Amino acid sequence: MPGIVISPTPEQYLNSLINKLAPHQEKLKNHRLYKLLNSVESIRIFMEFHVFAVWDFMSIVKALQNSVACQSIPWMPKPNPSLTRLVNSIILDEESDLDINNEPKSHFAMYLEAMEEMGVKTTTIDKFIGTVRAQNSLAAGLKPLNKSIQDSITETFKIINSNKAHQIASAFTFGRENMIPTMFIQILNQEGWKDEKRKFIYYLNRHVEVDGDEHGPAALEMVKIMCGEDPKAWQEAEEATIQALKARDKFWSAIATHIENLKQD
Residues 75-91 pLDDT 10s: 999 988 988 998 998 89
Q: Is the pLDDT of residue 221 over 80?
A: yes
HSE-up of residue 115 (Cα within 13 Å, Cβ side): 22
Any domain includes 167: yes
| pLDDT level of residue 192 (50, 70, 90 thresholds) | confident
- What is the count of structural domains for the chain? 1
5 domain residue, yes or no: no
Q: Helix (H, G, I), strand (E, B), or coil: what is residue 194?
A: coil
Write the pLDDT tens digit of every residue in 235-255.
Answer: 999 999 999 999 999 999 999
**pLDDT classification of 3: cutoffs 50, 70, 90:** low
The predicted structure's pLDDT at residue 1 = 45
Distances (CA, A) of 195 to 39, 182, 198, 201: 10, 22, 8, 10
17 lies in some domain: yes
- Candidate from 51-60, 62-71, 74-83, 213-222 with smallest mean pLDDT: 213-222
Average pLDDT over residues 247-264: 94
Q: Residue 98: enclosing H or E segment and its boundaries?
A: strand 97-98
| H/E element, 106 | none
Residue 1 lies in a domain: no
Q: Is the dihedral of CA 82, 83, 87, 88 positive or negative?
A: negative
Q: What are 98's strand-pairing partners?
A: 104
Helix (H) or strand (E) holding 3, with range, is none
**215 in any annotated domain:** yes
Torsion angles phi and psi, residue 98, rounded to 5: -95, 130
Model confidence pLDDT, tens digit, residues 145-159 = 999 999 999 999 999
In one letter, which amino acid is 214? E
Percentage of the chain surpassing pLDDT 70? 98
Give the predicted TM-score (pTM) of the model.
0.93
4 domain-assigned: no
- The CA distance from 246 to 223, in Å, is 20
CA distance 211 to 220: 11
In this predicted structure, the answer to whether residue 213 has a pLDDT above a threshold of 80 is no
Q: What pLDDT, on a 0 to 100 scale, did the predictor assign at position 2?
A: 57
**Stronger pLDDT, 217 or 24, i.e. the higher one:** 24
- The C-alpha atoms of residue 245 and residue 139 are separated, in whole angstroms, by 23
Range of the domain at 77: 10-264
pLDDT of residue 5: 60
Check which CATH number belongs to the domain holding 157 and give it: 1.20.910.10
Q: Which residues contact 162 (CB under 8 A, 6 or more apart)?
A: 168, 240
pLDDT of res. 4: 67
Q: What is the pLDDT of residue 232?
A: 97
Q: 3-state DSSP call for residue 151?
A: helix
- Does 81 map to a domain? yes
In a domain, 154, yes or no: yes
Find out whether 104 and 247 touch, Cβ atoms under 8 Å.
no
Question: What's the pLDDT tens digit per position in 162-175?
Answer: 999 999 999 999 99
Q: How far apart are CA 102 and CA 247, in angstroms?
A: 34
